[in-house]
Amino acid sequence: MASVVSDPNGRRRIQWTGANGKRQQIRLGQLDKRTAERVRFRVESLVSAVATGIEPDDETRRWVDGLADQLHERLASVGLVQPRQHGDLKAFFNEFVASPAQVTQGQQQRQHRHQEGEAGIPRGGGA
32-87 residue pLDDT tens: 999 999 999 999 999 999 989 999 999 999 999 999 999 999 999 999 999 988 77
Task: Say if CB 122 and CB 116 are below 8 A apart.
Answer: yes
Summary mean pLDDT of the chain: 84
Question: Which residues 6+ apart lie within 8 Å of 5 measured at CB?
Answer: 12, 13, 14, 15, 25
- Which residues fall within 8 angstroms of residue 17, CB to CB, at 6 or more apart? 23, 24
Q: Who contacts 40 (Cβ-Cβ below 8 Å, separation ≥6)?
A: 2, 3, 4, 14
Instruction: Give 31 or 94, the one with higher predicted confidence.
Output: 31
Q: Is 28 helix (H, G, I), strand (E, B) or coil?
A: strand
30 pLDDT more than 80? yes
**Cα atoms found within 13 Å of the Cα of residue 107, Cβ hemisphere only:** 4
Q: Three-state SS for 105?
A: helix
Please tell me the predicted confidence (pLDDT) of residue 92: 74
| 15-24, 25-34, 114-123: least confidently modelled range | 114-123
Query: At 19, is the pLDDT very low, low, confident or very high (cuts 50, 70, 90)?
Result: confident
Confidence of residue 104 (pLDDT cuts 50, 70, 90): low
